[in-house]
Structure 1
Amino acid sequence: MENKKKASLEVVFFHRKPRTVGNYSVEFIFEDVRKRLNGKINSRVVVSAYESAGLFKRLYNCYQAWRNQGQVNHITGDVNYLGLLLKRNATIQTILDCVHLNSSRGIKYSVLKLFWLSIPERRAKFITAISESTKQEILRHHKCDPNKIVVIPVAISSKFKKAEKPFNKECPRILQVGTAPNKNIPKLIEALQGLPCVLNIVGKQNDAYEALLKKYNIQYIYEWGLTDEQIMERYEQADILSLVSTYEGFGMPILEAQAVGRAVITSTLYSMPEVAGEAAVMVDPFVASEIRKGLEKVINDDSFRTDMIARGFENIKRFDPEVIAEKYLNLYQNVILSHSIS
């Protein structure tokens, strides 16, 4: 797949083969980058032949990447090992997070670190991290030149737009996007006990979560397999976005809610304060009473909530798609410049 307009700068985007379930699609992020750089770069997309599972499938993916190298090679995340056979001075690695390293120990940790961080770093001219938090995590796990890691955040999609809605103080609708363990849903459910509300969970069904919801007599809506349009509708229907995760590499729902004009409660950990700016309630995600206190502040304090939503509209300007696309263009040009100097 190539841009219609030709440009002298060729960039090959290497994408994982998407799993049938479980991935937030970073492919859409770089599809938007390519569209905005149309005429400035000549882009090609190479999707790995196999899902990232098993030695031989991964080796074939590396071989496929080697055969499709370009002037600049951009590995867009989750398949870091593809850089094994690519030209070092022409390769950029995007690292989305270090969640698997954080949760691994012993031999498993050593193997993951070698193939998902150490070798990819040595085989790349630059690394991009989607947050300063992720950059610091990379440096904690692997010693390298900090200047080699460039922070380029995720852009907020222009599809998410301001949608006016009266706030429902009597029974607010709280949106929770994602059901992975790091989303901290059991603690959120505990915090909601006795609070009149509707919890709208978007994510894979989990019997344990449903059992807790019924135990605490919380009104809820559980949805899975929604289209992009339906997800946007859920933001518009919501009064509050909750993302009290114990870990996030970025935290895209924060920006999506701010763009729509919704109140946000999130965690004090990792990238979430960085992404939310001063436009969210920050809470300790391990303490249910803190989550509860934050929610009650949003529900009961009208002026606080209104001011926070206004600050959200200002905050998302930092993640403008045009600005993010230009950051990538500058990086691609720096790779070419380093070629000419060397």
Structure 2
Amino acid sequence: MKINYFFRNPKVGHSIHRVFRTLIKELDTTLDITIYEVSCVGSMPIDVLKNNIFTYKKKNKHAIHHITGHIHDVLIALIGVKTVLTIHDLVFLDNVKNPFKRCYKWLFWLYLPLKIADKVVCISDQTKNNILSKIKTDKLEVIHNAVDPIFKFSKKSFNQERPVILHIGTGWNKNLDKTIKALEEIPCHLRIIGTLNELQLQLLKMYNIDYSNRFNLTDEEIRLEYINSDIINFPSLYEGFGMPVIEGQQTGRIVITSKIEPIIEVAGNGAVFVDPTSEKSISRAYKKVITDNVYRLDIIEKGLVNAKRFSVKNIAKQYVELYQNLAKT
């Protein structure tokens, strides 16, 4: 069976590439896979046109074409062949206030792609339900993201005196500002992965936070960051999935995260949940995790069990079944 994967231009970001690279490596043993990356970064009409021309030229009536995300509009070039679309979240609609942009995104990123695609994979029940609240369709199927097998359990003595708190991501939704304020007067080292802006730097100085910062890390460097940490901090305001939750669980670290969907769905009972809008809630979680050894170890054990749901073999099996069923139609 031949599968053609289409990715956005890597200059836009590597998160989707990273998630699917894990899956494709597993699937490549049983499927005939070709990977394409569209040529244009932007989403202006000329970019959309060029990306659709690129996609049309790669069209193959004997293959299943899988659009991995972000470039939903290239499905227009794939009318008449078998297609799968992955929708990670609806942030492209939920966060757009301009009515014209919102209408454009709704039409070309949601409505038409849903009409054209044979199957639509949602990475969480939350994404599925969000789509169904806007458009009724029977094409949706939930398949979670797979956790990269490079993340393995790594035993570490918890640093109760000055734990290393790993915070991944500095975008608006990653809630670093609230994290900084919640850590006031808690002895720790805050390890931040991502580019810091001026306001975040000012807050770190204002609240006298002991921190270090890195960005543009390789997969191996990210793996080591998890190993060297004591606490994984992920109190996001909005997520399509939440990979750091299961990466932290699989490494054997305590995870503090938001009591919102889809993170609740992803984390299971293997994380400490907080109200991401409340500094007091986040701060209480830190103090509980740092001081209560029994509680911490219990959550870590539950996290290790939960992470098994997202093993690459389990997720790859679900994709193979999806492709096989589609090939039969």
Scaled to the shorter chain, the TM-score interval is over 0.9
Aligned to 2:74: 82
CA separation in 2, counterparts of 1:188 and 1:74? Answer: 37
CA separation in 1, counterparts of 2:80 and 2:94? Answer: 27
Q: Given the alignment of the two structures, is residue 17 of structure 1 paired with residue 12 of structure 2, yes or no?
A: no
Aligned to 2:216: 225
Q: How far off is 1:39 after superposition?
A: 4.6
CA separation in 2, counterparts of 1:72 and 1:267? Answer: 37
Aligned to 1:240: 231
Which of 112, 115, 122 is the aligned partner of 2:115?
A: 122
Stretch deviating more after TM superposition (217-226 or 36-45): 36-45
**Contact in 1 for aligned 2:236/2:257 (Cα 8 Å):** yes
The letter of the residue matching 2:67 is I
Aligned to 1:284: 275
Q: Given the alignment of the two structures, is residue 191 of structure 1 paired with residue 161 of structure 2, yes or no?
A: no
SS in 1 for 2:11: coil
Question: Which aligned pairs between 1:40-79 and structure 2 lie closer than 5 A?
Answer: 40-70=30-60, 71-79=63-71
The letter of the residue matching 1:11 is I
CA separation in 1, counterparts of 2:23 and 2:226? Answer: 24
Aligned to 1:333: 324
Q: How far off is 1:27 after superposition?
A: 1.6
Identity %: 37
Indicate how the Cα distance of structure 1 residues 268 and 89 shifts in structure 2: closer, same or farther if over 3 A, else same: farther
The letter of the residue matching 1:121 is L
Stretch deviating more after TM superposition (256-265 or 81-90): 81-90
Which of 126, 134, 143 is the aligned partner of 1:152?
A: 143
Q: How far off is 1:270 after superposition?
A: 2.2
SS in 1 for 2:10: coil
Which of 181, 191, 202 is the aligned partner of 1:200?
A: 191
Q: Given the alignment of the two structures, is residue 112 of structure 1 paired with residue 122 of structure 2, yes or no?
A: no
**Shift >6 Å, 4+ stretches:** none
The letter of the residue matching 1:43 is I
Q: How far off is 1:88 after superposition?
A: 5.2
Aligned to 2:245: 254
**Contact in 1 for aligned 2:249/2:255 (Cα 8 Å):** yes
Give the structure-2-normalised TM-score: 0.96
Structure 1, unaligned stretches of length 5 or more? 1-8
Stretch deviating more after TM superposition (108-117 or 172-181): 108-117
**Contact in 1 for aligned 2:3/2:34 (Cα 8 Å):** yes
Aligned to 2:23: 33
Aligned to 1:5: none
Aligned to 2:261: 270
CA separation in 2, counterparts of 1:17 and 1:116? Answer: 16
CA distances 1:197-232 after superposition (whole Å, capped 9, x unpaired): 111000012121111111111111111122222211
Q: Given the alignment of the two structures, is residue 92 of structure 1 paired with residue 66 of structure 2, yes or no?
A: no
Q: How far off is 1:160 after superposition?
A: 0.6
CA separation in 2, counterparts of 1:169 and 1:229? Answer: 26
Aligned to 2:130: 137
CA separation in 2, counterparts of 1:35 and 1:224? Answer: 25
**Contact in 1 for aligned 2:22/2:147 (Cα 8 Å):** no
Stretch deviating more after TM superposition (131-140 or 74-83): 131-140
Aligned to 1:4: none
CA separation in 1, counterparts of 2:80 and 2:304? Answer: 40
Give the structure-1-normalised TM-score: 0.92
**Contact in 2 for aligned 1:88/1:125 (Cα 8 Å):** no
Q: How far off is 1:89 after superposition?
A: 5.7
Aligned residues between the structures? 326
Structure 2, unaligned stretches of length 5 or more? none
In angstroms, what is the RMSD of aligned CA positions? 1.3
